[in-house]
Structures are given as C-alpha cells and as structure tokens.
Structure 1
Amino acid sequence: MNIKNVFISGAGALGLMYASYLSKGVGKENVYFIADDKRVEKYKNSKYYVNDKEHNFNFISNNTDLKADLIILSVKFTGIHEAIKSLRNIVKDDTIFISVMNGIESENVIKEYYGDKHLLYCEVHGMDAVKEENKIYFSKPGLVCFGSKDNKITEDVKSVEEVLKKSNLPYEIPSDIMHKMWSKLMLNDAVNQVCAVFETGYGGIQKDGKAKDMVIETMREVSKVAEAEGIILTEDEINDWMDLMCTLNPDNMPSLRQDTKAKRKTEVELFAGTIKKLGKKHAIPTPLNDYLYDKIKEIENNY
C-alpha cells in the first residue's frame, strides 16, 4: 500500500514528536490527530511547539468520513480500550496498525477489536521527549523498531518503512520483534518505576547509587520471567540499555515519573502488574516488582 495519510491517537509527547516528523513524509495536511468532537473543538485552533518550532497540527473528529491508511496508537494504557473503540469509523480493510505504547499488551487489545491481519508489532526507545502544556522538547527522537509478528517482510512492513524513511525518522526492522519488545519491557519496567519511586529523572539512574542498582536488579528479575516465556534476555542487553540511559538528558524523565509528578494515574499495571502476573504463572518470585508496584500504588493513593 502507498500510505497517503497517518492518523495518530494520542497527542502526548510521543504523538506530537512523531507528527512533526511524519508531516515531512506524507505532508502536514495528511497527518491527523483523531479525537472526539469535544476534544477536537478544544484543540483544533491550538498551536504546539516542538523544540520551540511552531506547529499547527490537524485535529479531526472520529466521526469523519476519511479512512486511515496508517493508525499510530500513542495513548496511555489506562485509556486504550476507549481509544481503540473510537477508531472504528476510520478503519478500512487494509488499514495498518502500529502501537508505540509501552509494554507487550497493546497489540493484544488491538487484535481483540480489529484482528491482526494488518497489525504490526513495535517498540520504540532512545527518545527523551517531554511535554509541558503545549510544548514538547527532545534531544533524541529515538528508534522505531517494528515488524510482523512472524518477522516476515510483508507489504505492510515495506509500506511503513517507506513512510519512516521519507520522514527521516530513525527505524529498524529487527530479525525478532518479540525479543525487541520484551527487551524494551525489561528496560521500561525498571527505569520508569524506579525513577518514579526515587522521584528522579534520568540523572538519578546515571550515577552510582541505590536507584541505579535497583534498575539493574529489576531488569535481571524481568529477564527471568522473560526466559519462562521463551525469550532470552542477556546481561549484555542490560549493559547496553544502561549505556543508552547515560546518553539521555539527565534533567528529563521517563513517562511514569512524569505521571507521578503531575499526579496522574500511571501505567504500573502495564509494567509491574504484567511481570507480577507472569511471575505467578511460572512460579517465579518477583520481589522487586512487588515492591515497586506497592510503592507506586501508594504514591497514586496519596494524590
């Protein structure tokens, strides 16, 4: 398929960052943020600033007659069902779906509503985008890793690759996308939750100390659960992730820490909740995830 338009669900830091890139690939007029009528009315005349450059993004009602070639899901997991149901009117037989959401569960939810014929699997990492009201800042756009579940180079994979290439958005088509997604979950589970509990940005886990040590040990805990699920995550991968963390702006922070700082409901169920559930399934103790889960729930309850 020749992708002529892109619809993005979720106008957070990632959604806005990707929209600024994709506008180069398919044209600004063909990139849409889809929302309900109330939100469209609120945001349609809003100006956004991406690294201080002004953007007037298109907000369009989910009642539109337009049909989507590519849908990018970039919402919080807490609102995924509502977001996916709201897309029904723009989906056609060959609409391609990609989720840039955290974790390994969003693809299952998309599949539940729309099947998996044109569902691509994806994980993104290495970006440090932060949103402050109508402004987002980032020093690195990160890497979009995507592919079909069976790792075949399908026409959908080729179509998305072409758009990302035109958009100058860094990407990778890995040999094993499920391994990539689990590896990213290992990172997110540790970094997001530890930063939230220690009330720190990336700088707090870049320096030696309790926070950095807990990140490393939490990743090791996740790797044991992953192995039981048939995914081998190595110590070298943990070291590579820690090296990557040291390249990020120390003043920026991961999404879950942004949420606790802003007193928003977090994605703890997507991280520790998932690992705790799978740990019980395989009779693998998960004491660090148990601790992080309880602490984050305590933080939420004290808002």
Structure 2
Amino acid sequence: MTSSPFKTICVYGAGALGGAIAAKLASCDGAQTQISVVARGAHLESIRSGGIRLWEAGADSPLVARMTATADAGELPPQDLVITGLKGHQLAAAVPGIVKLLHSGTRVVMILNGVPWWYFHRDRQSGHAEYQLEELDPNGELWHRVGPERVIGCVAYQGAEVIAPGEVRLSNSGHFILGEPSGETTADIEATAALLQQAGINISISGRIRDDIWSKLMGNAAFNPISALTRALMSDIMEDPALAAMVGQVMSEVKAVAEALGSQIAMSVEERVERSRQIGPVRTSMLQDLLAGKALEITPLVGVVVSLGKLTNVPTPISATILALVTQLDRKNQQGAS
C-alpha cells in the first residue's frame, strides 16, 4: 500500500458492510496502517478469536483478516480515519463512542442509506443550508459533537449479510460513491478513495453526492418498507402488479422531493422501475432486520422523505401511508422481541 495520511483507521460498526471493508483494509499490507473495529456480542468475540471471514461474490473460500476488535472505543487511541458501518437510526446512540476516536484532523466516512443527518451542511442546491434534521439527530448531538465538517458522505451499492458471527458474505462486487458535502474534490477525499481502491473496493468520487443519495433512496424508500410489510423478496414484489405499481408511486414521490431540493436524478421513474424488474430474489436489509427482531431503519428511508415533502410542499401520500404502517410493524416487532 502506498503512503496514506491515514495511519490509524477504525471501522465503527463492523457488521455486514463495515465488516467487509475492515477485512479488505486489514488484508492489505498493514505496515503503514493500524486497522481496528468496534463491534459487539458474538460477532465481536468471533472477530477477536478468529478475525473476519469474508466471502466475496463467487469465491470458493473466504478471505480471513485479523485486526484489533473492541466493544469500547475508549480502548483505542484517536484515529486518523473513522468509517461508520451503522445505520442512520443507530448513530445517535453511538455518538459518545465515536467522539472518543476523534482528534482535531479526524475525517469520518459515514456509509448511510437514506437522507443523512449532515445533508444540509454546505448545501448549495436546496436553499436550506445548515438546516438540521432533528429526527435523525436528536438534540443535535451528531452535529455538535462529531461535526458535519468532518464527514465524507458515502453511498454504497453492495449486497452484504452477516451469515454467522464473524462471517460476512457479499452478493456482488459492489460500488461505493464518496462525496464531500461541499462538492469539492479535497486531498482528504482523494486519499480516502485511494486507500479503499488499494484494498480492492470499487470507488468513485462525486461532486454532487446528494444526487447520488436520492438516486439510491428511490429504491430503498420503496423496497425496504414494502418488503418488511409483506415479507417478500424484491423479485416477488416486482412480480406482483399492485406492489410493482406502489414501488413506482413511492419512487415518483422521492424523485419529486429530491428535485424540489435542487437535486438532479437522470433516470426516470419508468426506467428505474423497469431496471428493478431485473433484480433477483434479494432480501432487503429492512426485511433482514425485521426477521432478526431488530429495530427497523424507518426514519432515514421513509420518515425524512415525508418530512422533507412537507418542508418543500411536495405531497407524499403513499410514503406517508407506508410510514404509518411500517412504524406500527416495527413497534409490534420490538415488543415481540423484548
């Protein structure tokens, strides 16, 4: 690995995506970098004892990578780069741990589905620069303690699943898009991209990361909650005419909100729906969480679409209905899991 300004790197939340990235980073020549992860439970214990076993798409055997692993970020020194693998609804509770990893120059790559808490920081597209999303960042803890100025945004197109403690399987080769909230191509983002590319991760840099966020959210806002409500795979949803029509309606609402905030989505809803018909029997992350009894990632994927629809005077009736239904589903599922 060529010289990098990031000598210490921590993946905070080494689940499916985070674990895959940590394994790839740790499997590179680690002479210049120290890789660590923050994880919990049986997954953590397995990483401590045997490392992360990563099955890449089509591989006959797993890549096995060892690294420092802990449940307490306070056991680690301040890091040059932190990569979060947590979902949007998990971040607020992780603030105390993330803060322990920061020094004055630490950058934080946040791999998030849906609208992120930092969305309006240095935003020149919407007319709402520095607007804070309370539902994603209660009391502004992330904004004030982590700081949006540290963030490098990341949109991930990578199917991944934890199939056993310490073991992650990827369903495709994947693609990650990085972007500074300002849209600038900084030395930090170039160094981050180079680091990840050297680890075998497919990376591109975007000057309009918000466009990429909304483009992916068109799919997530539709498929994730519908799959949780119906327990259907993505291919099953698209084979049902009524559900496929609902997917298109949600995508239309998301695209309208995005455009009202100044984003540009090149693909039409009709093209996106047609492309979705090519997706195989994929189980969405929300359906995975539902079946595992975990809290669902509702607010970043659906709730914020509805609230930003209100902010921009864009009607979102289908998304609002789905939000009400999946919120009740999550409540009942959590009661059953407790």
Describe the SS at the equivalent of 2:103: coil
Tell me, yes or no, if the aligned pair for 2:11 and 2:38 is still in contact at 8 Å: yes
Tell me, yes or no, if the aligned pair for 2:82 and 2:107 is still in contact at 8 Å: yes
1:153 maps to which of 175, 180, 185:
185
Deviation at 1:136, TM superposition (A): 2.2
Map of 1:58 onto structure 2? 68
Map of 1:183 onto structure 2? 215
2:108 maps to which of 85, 97, 100:
97
Q: Normalised by the size of structure 1, how large is the TM-score?
A: 0.87
Cα distance in 2 for residues equivalent to 1:83 and 1:39: 17
Cα distance in 1 for residues equivalent to 2:234 and 2:48: 34
Map of 1:23 onto structure 2? 26
Tell me, yes or no, if the aligned pair for 1:204 and 1:211 is still in contact at 8 Å: no
Q: Residue type matched to 1:83 in 2?
A: A
Deviation at 1:143, TM superposition (A): 1.1
| Structure 1 residues 65 and 264: alpha-carbon distance in aligned structure 2, compared to 1, 3 A threshold | closer
Cα distance in 2 for residues equivalent to 1:64 and 1:39: 18
2:327 maps to which of 284, 297, 300:
297
1:132 maps to which of 151, 154, 163:
163
Deviation at 1:241, TM superposition (A): 7.2
Describe the SS at the equivalent of 1:107: coil
| Structure 1 residues 120 and 238: alpha-carbon distance in aligned structure 2, compared to 1, 3 A threshold | farther
Describe the SS at the equivalent of 2:197: helix
Cα distance in 1 for residues equivalent to 2:273 and 2:95: 31
Map of 1:236 onto structure 2? 268
Query: Which ranges in structure 1 are unaligned for 5 or more consecutive residues?
Result: none
| Structure 1 residues 175 and 43: alpha-carbon distance in aligned structure 2, compared to 1, 3 A threshold | closer
Query: Which ranges in structure 2 are unaligned for 5 or more consecutive residues?
Result: 56-60, 120-136, 334-338
Matching of residues 254-265 of structure 1 within 5 Å: 254-265=284-295
Cα distance in 2 for residues equivalent to 1:198 and 1:185: 19
Map of 1:216 onto structure 2? 248
Map of 1:205 onto structure 2? 237
Q: Residue type matched to 2:14 in 1?
A: A
Cα deviation, 1:179-226, whole Å, max 9, x if unaligned, reads 111222222111211221221122223435233222222111111111
Question: Which deviates the most, 209-218 or 152-161?
Answer: 209-218
Q: Residue type matched to 1:192 in 2?
A: N
Cα deviation, 1:103-130, whole Å, max 9, x if unaligned, reads 22243654432323332122112x2212
1:34 aligns with 2:38: yes
Cα distance in 1 for residues equivalent to 2:254 and 2:27: 38
Describe the SS at the equivalent of 1:222: helix
| Structure 1 residues 202 and 20: alpha-carbon distance in aligned structure 2, compared to 1, 3 A threshold | farther
Describe the SS at the equivalent of 2:287: helix
Deviation at 1:256, TM superposition (A): 0.9
Deviation at 1:36, TM superposition (A): 7.8
Question: Which deviates the most, 199-208 or 278-287?
Answer: 199-208
Cα deviation, 1:165-187, whole Å, max 9, x if unaligned, reads 21110011123111111222222
Tell me, yes or no, if the aligned pair for 1:124 and 1:145 is still in contact at 8 Å: yes
| Structure 1 residues 162 and 25: alpha-carbon distance in aligned structure 2, compared to 1, 3 A threshold | farther
Q: Normalised by the size of structure 2, how large is the TM-score?
A: 0.79
Cα distance in 2 for residues equivalent to 1:234 and 1:48: 38
1:173 aligns with 2:205: yes
